[in-house]
Amino acid sequence: MRLSYSVLLGGLAVAAALASPASAQAQPNAVRKHLVYFRDKAGTPFTVSQPQAFLSARAVQRRTRQSIAVQPRDLPVTPAYVAQVRAVPGATVWYTSRWFNAAVVSCDSATLRNLQALPFVRSATTLNRTAAVTPSTPRPRSSEDAQDPQQRTQANPVYGIAYQQALMLGAVDMHNAGFRGEGMQIAVFDDGFPGVDQTSPFASMRNENRLADVYNFVERNTAVYGRDSHGTHCLSTMAANETGRFIGTAPKATYRLYLTENIVGENPIEEVNWLLAAERADSAGVDVISSSLGYSSFDTPYGNYTYADLNGRTAISTRAASIAARVGMVVVNSAGNEGNSAWQRILAPADADSILAVAAVDSFRNRVGFSSIGPSADGRIKPNLASQGHQTAIVNVSGVPTRGSGTSYACPVLAGVVACFWQANPTLSAQQVISFMQRSGSQYASPDNLLGYGIPNFVTAYNLANPGAPLSADSPKAATGQLFIYPNPVRNNELYLQLTDAFQGKPLRVRFYDARGALVAEQALAATGSAEVRLTPGPLAKGVYTCDVSAGEQVRRTVRFVKL
Position 149 in a domain: no
pTM, rounded to two decimals: 0.80
Position 151 in a domain: no
CATH at residue 279 = 3.40.50.200
Are 176 and 291 part of one and the same domain?
yes
Are 67 and 177 part of one and the same domain?
no
Domain extent for 264 = 162-465
| Residues with catalytic roles | 190, 230, 408
**Distance separating alpha carbons of residues 255 and 237, to the nearest angstrom:** 13
Is residue 332 within 8 Å of 415, Cβ to Cβ? yes
Are 504 and 395 part of one and the same domain?
no
**Distance separating alpha carbons of residues 390 and 406, to the nearest angstrom:** 6
**Distance separating alpha carbons of residues 312 and 455, to the nearest angstrom:** 23
Position 256 in a domain: yes
Position 146 in a domain: no
pLDDT at 555: 74
pLDDT at 546: 87
Position 223 in a domain: yes
Reading the chain (564 residues) residue by residue, the pLDDT tens digits are: 666 543 344 333 333 333 333 333 334 445 799 999 999 999 999 999 999 999 999 999 999 999 999 999 999 999 999 999 999 999 999 999 999 999 999 999 999 999 999 999 999 999 987 543 333 333 333 333 334 444 555 678 889 999 999 999 999 999 999 899 999 999 999 999 999 999 999 999 999 999 999 999 999 999 999 889 999 999 999 999 999 999 999 999 999 999 999 988 899 999 999 999 999 999 999 999 999 999 999 988 778 999 999 999 999 999 999 999 999 999 999 999 999 999 999 999 999 999 999 999 999 999 999 999 999 999 999 999 999 999 999 999 999 999 999 999 999 999 999 999 999 999 999 999 999 999 999 999 999 999 999 999 999 999 999 988 888 644 434 333 467 787 777 777 778 887 877 788 889 999 998 877 789 999 999 988 777 788 999 999 988 888 989 888 667 788 888 888
Position 14 in a domain: no
Question: Going by C-beta distance under 8 Å and a sequence separation of 6 or more, which residues neighbour residue 518?
Answer: none
Last-in-domain residue among 74, 103, 126? 126
Are 250 and 292 part of one and the same domain?
yes
Are 116 and 202 part of one and the same domain?
no
Last-in-domain residue among 438, 465, 492? 465
Position 131 in a domain: no
pLDDT at 349: 98
**Distance separating alpha carbons of residues 105 and 126, to the nearest angstrom:** 10
CATH at residue 508 = 2.60.40.3080
Are 203 and 268 part of one and the same domain?
yes
Are 179 and 272 part of one and the same domain?
yes
**Distance separating alpha carbons of residues 273 and 218, to the nearest angstrom:** 7
Are 242 and 366 part of one and the same domain?
yes
**Distance separating alpha carbons of residues 97 and 29, to the nearest angstrom:** 19
Are 452 and 546 part of one and the same domain?
no
Last-in-domain residue among 81, 102, 126? 126
User: Which helix (H) or strand (E) is 106 found in, with range?
Assistant: strand 102-106
Count up the domains in the chain and report the number.
3
**Distance separating alpha carbons of residues 332 and 315, to the nearest angstrom:** 17
Are 291 and 364 part of one and the same domain?
yes
Are 405 and 501 part of one and the same domain?
no
Position 470 in a domain: no
Are 241 and 298 part of one and the same domain?
yes
